[in-house]
Chains A and B, each alone.
Chain A
Amino acid sequence: MSNPPGMKAPTNWEEFIEGLWKRNPIFVMVLGMCPTMAITTTAINSISMGLATTFVLAASCWMVSLLRAHIPKEVRIASYIVIIATFVTVVDYAIQAISLDLYEALGAYIKLIVANCLVLGRAEAHAARFKPVASALNATGMGLGFTLGLFMIGGVRELIGMGSLFGISLFGANYQPWVVMILPPGGFFVMGLWLMVFALVRVRKDKAGATPGSAQTQAA
């Protein structure tokens, strides 16, 4: 925030906020779909997975950014992958030590963070070009945006599929859970519905914003 207003260089705050909503990894960039679908059966799983990914993302972007002058262009992808795999191994063992239940619920998908296109995508598109602090902040923002997206899908799926949120039953004993929502097809449907809702909002906003200038302020 204390950056001097240079050549339109984004401030640290802007770097951080970018991934949260405006360029949300899940809903806007549609990256990292495998964990998005696979582990969003409950809200708790979604948030833990999101935070694990955030850590890997921030740490590896910081590392990539530190080393960006020393990595030859030809082998950069391989180098990034090795850096990412290192941090994923750290997270994998950390989660195993913290909560065995969670480790079993997430299964192989923790290790599969390595193959999350979001992480490699950000390393390539942002960390390789910006300073360590800026890219770590940007990555943290992206990670939190990813967590938010996971939670929005996982929350809905748990709510409809099991009638509970964070394991607390909400609708009483008579609620007939809509089981298909926590089965694989539910992931596709909930994500598709969210995208549809956003598209509807956008269409409506475009119509309302036909009178010039006022659209952006109203959106806030």
Chain B
Amino acid sequence: MHESLGQILITTILSGNFVLAMFLGMCPFMGVTHSVKVAFPLGLATTFVIWMASLSAYLLNLVLIPFHMEYLQLICYITVIAAAVQLVEMFVKKQSPELFRALGIYLPLITTNCAVLGVALFQTAREYDFWQSMVFALGGGVGFTLALTLLASVRERVRFSKVPNAMMGTALTLMLAGVLSLAFMGFAGLGGGE
């Protein structure tokens, strides 16, 4: 049960990648990966929210557990996440309006990104301490950005290829994601594994 920080970092980025191995955050993975220019900033924004969520989940647990109010965990987490997303939204809108427009609905949707809530839930379930949680969140965010950027680059490449009619659209994206996921399975065992 005692994992070193380096192990956690490598596991969450590669072999236990949030998107490709744990299926968290599929909606933006399918939705905004049409170009690297959009996918990468969204990855960064999500990384920040994930990190905020992890930090606040850790702090909330300090309050909830001594008072035996674990049943409020879910409601507290999601409310804090919604607030954090609002913050990021305001920041992006102010810093770069064109990016804000490109991200569109997917920016507020970070709230319902399973990866964000997932980090909070998994770190609680695995009883990580403070630094482990922080590294877990960082690795998760970097892994998410990596997966998004990779899929976006692949999709940019196949855009001009001849694809059978039946495979156009979502079906093709899913197949590409499957191949990526297969490739990431090659990392299994890195970082100590299970």
- Footprint of B on A, CB under 8 Å? 30-31, 33-38, 77-78, 81-82, 85-86, 88-89, 92-93, 107-108, 111-112, 114-117, 120, 180, 183-189, 191-193, 195-196, 199-200, 203
Contacts and interface: CB of A to CB of B under 8 A. Distances in A.
A202 to B, nearest CB: 9
Contact of B167 (A37, A77, A196): A196
A2 to B, nearest CB: 36
A191 B30 CA distance: 13
A92 B117 CA distance: 15
Interface of B: 20-27, 29-30, 71, 74-75, 78-79, 82, 108-109, 111-114, 116-118, 121-122, 125, 165-175, 177-179, 181-182, 185
A95 to B, nearest CB: 14
B174 A34 contact: no
A188 to B, nearest CB: 3
A86 B182 CA distance: 37
Given A108-B122, A191-B174, A184 B20 contact: yes
Contacts of A195: 169-171, 174
Contacts of A88: 74
Contacts, number: 124
Nearest to A112: B114
A82 B83 CA distance: 13
A192 B113 contact: no
Contacts of B29: 33
A112 B117 contact: yes
A82 B72 CA distance: 11
B117 A114 contact: yes
Nearest to A202: B166
B113 A115 contact: yes
Contacts of A193: 171
B79 A81 contact: yes
Contacts of B23: 33-35, 37-38, 184, 187
Closest 8 CB pairs of A and B: A188-B178, A192-B174, A33-B26, A195-B171, A38-B23, A37-B23, A199-B166, A185-B181
A33 B118 CA distance: 14
Given A93-B71, A185-B178, A199-B171, A117 B112 contact: yes
Nearest to A180: B182
Contacts of B166: 196, 199-200, 203
B170 A89 contact: no
Contacts of B25: 34
Contacts of B174: 188-189, 191-192, 195
A183 B74 CA distance: 28
Contacts of A82: 75, 78-79
Contacts of A89: 71, 74-75
B181 A111 contact: no
Q: Which of B20, B114, B167, B175 has the most CB of A within 10 A?
A: B114
Contacts of A36: 26
Contact of B109 (A93, A111, A117, A191): A117
Given A33-B23, A185-B179, A199-B171, 12 more contacts: A31-B27, A37-B26, A77-B108, A86-B75, A89-B71, A108-B122, A112-B118, A115-B112, A184-B23, A192-B172, A195-B170, A196-B167
12 contacts: A33-B26, A38-B23, A77-B82, A78-B79, A81-B112, A92-B74, A115-B111, A184-B21, A185-B179, A192-B174, A195-B169, A199-B169
Given A108-B118, A203-B165, A30 B30 contact: yes
Nearest to B22: A38
A117 B27 contact: yes
A27 to B, nearest CB: 9
A116 B25 CA distance: 10
